[in-house]
Amino acid sequence: MKKIIIYKSTLLLALIVSISSCEVFEIDKVNNPNAADAAVVQSDATKSQIQGLVTGLESRHRGYVATTSRAFGSFGRETLSFRDSDPRFTQDWLGRALPPDAAFFAVGNTYNAPYQAIKQANFLIEAANNTANLTAAEIAGVEGFAKTIQGYQYLVPWLAQGSNGIRIDVSDPLNPGPRLDQAAALTAIRGILDEGNTALGNAGSSFAFSLTSGFAGFDTPATMRELNRAIAARAAMYAEDWAGVITALNSSFMDPVASQTTTTFAEGPMHSYAGPPDGFNPFFFPLDQFSTQLEVVHPVMIRDMLAGDARGSKFFERVNNPVTNQALVEYTATHQDGRWASNTSGVPFIRQEELVLMLAEAEAQTGGTAAAVAAIDAIRTVNGLAAYTGGTTNAELIDEILFQRRYSLWFEPMPHRWADLRRYDRLGDLEGDWESTTGAFIATDESIFTQLAIPQAEINWDNLQSGN
């Protein structure tokens, strides 16, 4: 009996060994049939692979646009987000439910998308530095472009997070740097923009890659530097480094104030959309068509608008189809976003008009009253209003500039009005929720947000690292 068992076990073992060495039991390595492996560009990337990553960065660069504009548009009472199918877009974003918590409704993309663009830029820089197929100047060109975009993208979470501060060193996913406080983070962002500027200075006369038509006019190292400086001016403005704003603007693509026109105001780089297989402009909605799902103009924008303001053309009146919303049943919205010619129109992310407004503010803050008034007048007259006749104290000028910024930069990608009022500690000026008893938006209430909460995944990571 025992012998039989031993004998049979030996046989079994022998059989298993022989079967396992048989070819039919080998398995071939399966390569991903749906996409390329990330490793292929990590060393010795070809120029066309670098080009792919550059275009990929352009794609990541616009990832934040739709959600960021809608959420911050609601927080700053520029727009209301009407979604009959999910009332939280209206209610929660107007602050009806609860103040923002770590998992606040539908704002994750305002944080994640910019950081994914930053990640793509880091990945691109790494790939460019790890190939023999680019010259030193070409590498500098890639780096300059990537860091310019990074500087722009860091500002989005920096603005949303306010006093929470943000992380800047995010290159190692498992070992991110500390969360810097608000001021230190902004200094670091400005440093990244400056590095980009320097790199672009070493990039020769042309890039080794091409950009989409959204960057028309900013597609050489020299012109990309002008864009870099425009973004640097914005960062300097948030840092209240007014001299820095003026210096940066002088190297930017801003034309002299005196020569500004409607055309020059519109000039600036854009996020482009081409339709399938690309996406559509997320803000385009056919004019005055019935819908329960679109952004409407916040009524206070219409209420406060000056007569004759050409910027009123941004607000298209829905004559046949005013919109009501299940979450705000007593209120009927009358205007929609009317800025877009078609669903493939590009979305500008920084324009000359904003540069002129930044100049006005920096001059006003540094005692350059005449220059400030000249810039304000450019804004007013190009937009069909009479020249400025108000007072010229710092406070009066700032009042005027904030008012003009509200109409010039309405519903543009960065959180303009919300951030502007916070800069000047005037969040109390914001209108609150709709009050059914008076049939109006009440002046202010507890539903005004100061900033968003630190996202859940960030808190979790900190806890995980500290062993909590």
Task: Give, as ranges, the residues between 148 and 167 that touch other proteins (CB under 8 A).
Answer: 157, 166-167
Q: Does 341 bind other proteins (CB under 8 A)?
A: no
Q: Does 111 bind other proteins (CB under 8 A)?
A: yes
Provide the CA 170 distance to its chain's centre, in angstroms: 18
Q: Does 207 bind other proteins (CB under 8 A)?
A: no
Q: Does 143 bind other proteins (CB under 8 A)?
A: no
Give CA–CA dist 368/378, Å, rounded. Answer: 15
Tell me the closest approach of the beta carbon of residue 377 to other proteins, in angstroms.
36
Tell me the closest approach of the beta carbon of residue 206 to other proteins, in angstroms.
17
Q: Which stretch binds other proteins (CB under 8 A): 236-244, 247-255, 291-299, 398-406?
A: 291-299
Q: Does 32 bind other proteins (CB under 8 A)?
A: yes
By the 8 A CB rule, do 76 and 427 touch? no
Give CA–CA dist 342/148, Å, rounded. Answer: 29
Q: Does 291 bind other proteins (CB under 8 A)?
A: yes
Angle 123-231-418 (CA atoms, 0-180°, nearest 5)? 105
State how beta strands 166-167 and 179-180 pair: antiparallel
Give CA–CA dist 337/95, Å, rounded. Answer: 22
Tell me the closest approach of the beta carbon of residue 171 to other proteins, in angstroms.
8
Q: Does 348 bind other proteins (CB under 8 A)?
A: no
**Total binding residues for other proteins by CB under 8 A?**
116
Tell me the closest approach of the beta carbon of residue 183 to other proteins, in angstroms.
18
Strand partners, 294: 82
Q: Does 272 bind other proteins (CB under 8 A)?
A: yes
Give CA–CA dist 218/346, Å, rounded. Answer: 15
Give CA–CA dist 192/176, Å, rounded. Answer: 17
What letter does residue 275 receive in the DSSP assignment?
A: S
Task: Give, as ranges, the residues between 370 and 409 that touch other proteins (CB under 8 A).
Answer: none
* Binder of other proteins out of 43, 44, 101, 243 (CB under 8 A): 101
- In the complex with other proteins, the residue whose CB is nearer, 37 or 425, is 37
Per-residue tokens: 448: 């005004």
* Binder of other proteins out of 93, 265, 284, 316 (CB under 8 A): 284
Task: Give, as ranges, the residues between 59 and 98 that touch other proteins (CB under 8 A).
Answer: 59-60, 62, 83-88, 92, 97-98
Strand partners, 167: 179
Q: Does 12 bind other proteins (CB under 8 A)?
A: yes
* Nearest CA-CA partner of 250 in 264, 229, 267: 229
- Give the CA distances from residue 36 to residues 32, 40, 49, 116, in Å, rounded to whole numbers and listed in that order: 7, 7, 11, 19
Tell me the closest approach of the beta carbon of residue 244 to other proteins, in angstroms.
26
Task: Give, as ranges, the residues between 318 and 337 that touch other proteins (CB under 8 A).
Answer: 324, 326-327, 329-331
